Every structure is written in structure tokens, then in C-alpha cells.
Amino acid sequence: MESHVNPSFHDRLVAATGRDRQFLLGAPVITDALAGRLDLPRYLAFLSQAWQHVRHTVPLLMSATGRLPERLNWLQKDMLHYIDEELGHDEWILADLEAAGADVEALRHQPPGPAVDALVAYVYDTVTRRNPIGIFGMVLVLEGTSVAIASEAAHRIQASLGLPDAAFTYLRSHGSLDQEHIGDLKRILDRLDDPVDQQCIEQCARSVYWLYGSLFRGLDSITVPLVSAPRRVGT
């Protein structure tokens, strides 16, 4: 007799959000990055918007951790570990921007683009008003995307732009670090058996996929001030 194993929540979530994921990965700027056709203004625009949302990662995780219901207290250790690993990543991005010639001090005073503004606001709303467990929808999107494309994109962009290694700390570190995080995420998701929690995570993942995809589609409207011409490898 053939046996059938029900898919885990993680696997069901990945399947349910497949169309949303394709909207994100189908952004022309991602295609250009993986093909080695990304120019410097768009790479700097991407880093600037990455900084705008990554600097909220730790505050969001802290807020979600403090709002977990008692039945989910087992998650606190995982959340605290994740917070510890995410500390300082926003500064990595600023260092990359500086290595690529951006005026970091001017960037600190620039408002985020509309897509990032909406993304960050949506996740704060999910954590504080809906269900704090929904933050794992954001984690699925950001870390899953990083695992899928970050390392290869860094290689292709560097090859085409000739920027130093110091301009790719964020992409390269996340391509490898997030492999471990995705394994941790799968373990956590597969312990969450409340249908309400699962639905909130799926809704957050869907929304973040579309907002993150919109971020990539809006990079041409983002201007990053330069302090100097970037140092090129071999020059």
C-alpha cells in the first residue's frame, strides 16, 4: 500500500507563495544582476534601500519577541539568537556603500523609497496589531531570496563593475549565513501548528514578496549621492 506523508507547514508555505516569489524574482533588475548587466547607480540604489529595511530587523524582532503569547514561549531562545546574529548588519551595508563611493552621511538623512516605507510599515503593523508570529513570513522572504541569489549576484555584479571585495560584504555574508537561518526557520515553522498563526505567516510572506518585488522595480527612481568615484579593482 502506498503511503502518503502530509507536507510540513514550511513546504506548504513555500508552495502556497510560489507565485508571489516569482513576482519578486522576475524583477528586471534581478535578471540584470544575475546576467552581469547591473550598473553602479542601481547597485547603490539597492544597497541604500536594503539599509533602509535592514536597520529595522532587530527592532522588529525585539518587538515580536516581547509580544509572543505564553503558548509560544519556546520561541524566545530562537528569537534572541536571531537578534544576536542580525546585530550590526545595517552597518555592513553602509560600509559597502562607502567602498562603492556613496556619500554615507548624506544617505543617513534620506527617507526610504515608497516600497521600503510600505514594507517596513506593514511588518510593524503585523507584529504590533495582528500577530507577532507573522514576522516569520518576512524572514521566509528575505532570507529565502538571499539564499537563492545573493552570492551569485555578488559575483556577477563585481565582475561587471570591478568594485573591491569591500563593496560586497552584505551580499556575500548573507548568501552563506542565511543558509543556516533557513534551516532554523524550517524547524520553527514545522512546530507551529495553530491554523491562525500559519495563516498570518502566509499573509505576511505574500505581502512582503510583493512589496520587496516592488522595491526592486523602483530602484531607477532612487538616487544615491556620491562622495567620490568608486575605487575599481586593479586601478
- Taking only the tens place, the pLDDT of each residue in 142-159 is 988 887 788 899 999 999
Domain that holds residue 199: 20-221
pLDDT digits (tens, 9 = 90+) for 156-209: 999 999 999 999 999 988 655 556 678 889 999 999 999 999 999 999 999 999
pLDDT for 234 equals 54
Does residue 150 lie in a domain region? yes
Q: Which residues contact 84 (CB under 8 A, 6 or more apart)?
A: none
Q: Pick the closest to residue 124 from 57, 73, 78, 187 (CA basis).
A: 57
Q: What is the mean pLDDT of the chain?
A: 92
CA dihedral 7, 177, 121, 92 (to 10 degrees): -170
133 found inside a domain: yes
What CATH number does residue 132 fall under?
Answer: 1.20.910.10
Query: Is residue 13 included in any domain, yes or no?
Result: no
Q: What pLDDT sits at residue 149?
A: 87
Tell me the CA distances in angstroms from 144 to 21, 148, 206, 219, 223, one per residue in order. Answer: 10, 6, 13, 21, 27
Q: Report the domain count for the chain.
A: 1
